[in-house]
């Protein structure tokens, strides 16, 4: 769900050397056309770098392109709905949560540099993902109902075995209830969003060109 994946880009680099000037033109390639917009190969590369930062690995180009098409669908509807962008404070909180998944600030910074993402690029990606995630939450959460039995089953089949496998004392059911409730809500949002995206794809025009751009 990228922040700038629908714009064509043509880059001109001027290299100084020897006794004169050398102009080198680098043209970005189109990976897919979605309605009247495009997704670029550079968009795929950027999301791959973000995945490398978070997971230490990235999906295939084809899988990432699928994600970007889904992001286009969500962003298009959110824009039509005039859904508000997240505040700067929300974006910073989301970025802080990402940083806390690393052992230390130094490890995060090292991984960021290794991924090739600048701080500005990372912040823009976090803002974009937060915008789209918030929209999906607003769209689907009101219709979701979680049964008490589902919460109890999750506690018995997920929380207790996990604690036991780690040799830890499990939290009480009451202490874990709110966490379990939210986990189930998020799971239901993901499931409904997946069905909606599948239906939406059947109604839009998508032309994938990724294979044509491979050497």
Please give the structure tokens belonging to residue 207: 């032309």
pLDDT of residue 156: 95
What pLDDT does 215 receive? Answer: 53
Residue ranges per domain, the chain?
Answer: 144-204
Residue 50 burial by CB count (10 A; 0-12/13-18/19+): exposed, middle or buried? buried
* Mean confidence (pLDDT) of the chain: 88
Tokens, residue 49: 């770098």
Q: What is the pTM of this model?
A: 0.79
Find out whether 187 and 150 touch, Cβ atoms under 8 Å.
no
**Selection from 125, 100, 114 nearest residue 47 by Cα:** 125
- C-beta of residue 97 within 8 angstroms of C-beta of residue 126: no
Token reading at 132:
């789209």
pLDDT at 117: 95
Closest C-alpha among 191, 155, 190 to residue 174: 155
Q: What value does the CA radius of gyration of the chain take, rounded to a whole number of Å?
A: 21
pLDDT at 211: 77
Contact (Cβ atoms closer than 8 angstroms) between residue 30 and residue 103:
no
- Give, for all 215 residues of the chain, the pLDDT tens digit: 444 333 333 333 333 344 443 444 446 899 999 999 999 999 999 999 999 999 999 999 999 999 999 999 999 999 999 999 999 999 999 999 999 999 999 999 999 999 999 999 999 999 999 999 999 999 999 999 999 999 999 999 999 999 999 999 999 999 999 999 999 999 999 999 999 999 999 999 999 998 765 55
| CA–CA gap between residue 177 and residue 152 (Å, rounded) | 8
C-beta separation of 171 from 159 below 8 A:
yes
> Hunting for tokens 């500005």 — which residue is that?
120
Span 148-189, pLDDT tens digits: 999 999 999 999 999 999 999 999 999 999 999 999 999 999
- Strands 20-27 and 206-208 turn out to be unpaired
């Amino acid at each position: 769900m990228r922040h700038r994946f629908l714009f064509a880009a043509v880059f001109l680099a001027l290299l100084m050397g020897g006794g004169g000037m050398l102009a080198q033109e680098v043209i970005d390639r189109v990976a897919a056309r979605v309605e009247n917009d495009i997704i670029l190969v550079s968009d795929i590369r950027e999301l791959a770098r973000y995945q490398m930062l978070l997971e230490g690995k990235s999906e295939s180009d084809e899988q990432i392109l699928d994600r970007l098409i889904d992001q286009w669908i969500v962003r298009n509807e959110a824009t039509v709905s005039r859904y508000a962008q997240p505040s700067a404070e929300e974006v910073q909180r989301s970025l802080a949560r990402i940083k806390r998944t690393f052992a230390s600030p130094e490890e995060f910074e090292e991984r960021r540099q290794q991924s090739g993402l600048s701080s500005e690029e990372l912040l823009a990606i976090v803002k974009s993902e937060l915008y789209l995630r918030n929209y999906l939450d607003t769209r689907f959460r009101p219709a979701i109902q979680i049964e008490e039995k589902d919460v109890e089953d999750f506690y018995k089949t997920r929380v207790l075995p996990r604690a036991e496998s780690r040799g830890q004392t499990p939290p009480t059911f009451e202490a874990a209830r709110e966490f379990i409730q939210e986990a189930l809500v998020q799971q239901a949002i993901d499931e409904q969003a997946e069905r909606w995206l599948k239906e939406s794809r059947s109604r839009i025009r998508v032309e994938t060109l990724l294979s044509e751009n491979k050497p």
